[in-house]
Amino acid sequence: MQTFLKGKRVGYWLSEKKIKKLNFQAFAVLCRKRGIEVIQLDLTRPIEDQGPLDVIIHKLTDVIIEADQNDSQSLELVHRFQEYIDAHPETIILDPLPAIRTLLDRSKSYELIRQIETYMQDERICSPPFMELTSTYGEDTLQQIEKSGIAFPFST
């Protein structure tokens, strides 16, 4: 069976837990049967040395969260990954890092859903009321909460 991806290289970085949950080894076997090379990336080494790569599949969410909390090892891994992406814009990345950062930011995610609700004008699409408190409790905080339609209990 011919495929347009024959001879392509797919790099992946997934935790062992994700590899098992997604049954990724079966995917890798299927790719290899179709002439697609699948390699597990070692983010502690320069990705450049592991390429060239046509596609990168990753689940770096936990690493990104740790990097955002200034974990030095995670910062280095994310930096190394971003350097490769910047140097190789032709490489397809599943999932793009900016999209992951948006999903990790609850306020941005809710705002995106609210924009979709407004655009779609479909009552089947809805999200709970939300607001972001940007300062400590003040006199107007309860008024802001009521104005946003938020009721107890609160979720943090």
Give the pLDDT score at 152.
65
Give the pLDDT score at 137.
66
E strands in 35-96: 37-40, 55-58, 92-94
pTM, full prediction: 0.69
Per the CB < 8 A criterion, the answer to whether 129 and 148 are in contact is yes
The model's pLDDT over 114-138, given as tens digits with 9 standing for 90+, comes to: 888 888 777 777 777 777 776 666 6
Q: Nearest-CA neighbor of 114 among 127, 123, 133?
A: 127
The model's pLDDT over 141-156, given as tens digits with 9 standing for 90+, comes to: 777 777 777 776 655 5
The model's pLDDT over 62-118, given as tens digits with 9 standing for 90+, comes to: 888 889 899 888 998 888 899 999 999 999 998 888 888 888 887 777 788 888 888
Burial of 124 (0-12, 13-18, 19+ CB in 10 A): exposed
Q: Tokens for 2? A: 């011919």
Give the pLDDT score at 2.
43
Whether residue 95 has a cis bond before it, omega within 30° of 0: yes
Tell me how far apart the alpha carbons of residues 74 and 43 are, in angstroms, rounded to a whole number: 10
Per the CB < 8 A criterion, the answer to whether 140 and 132 are in contact is no
Give the pLDDT score at 4.
53
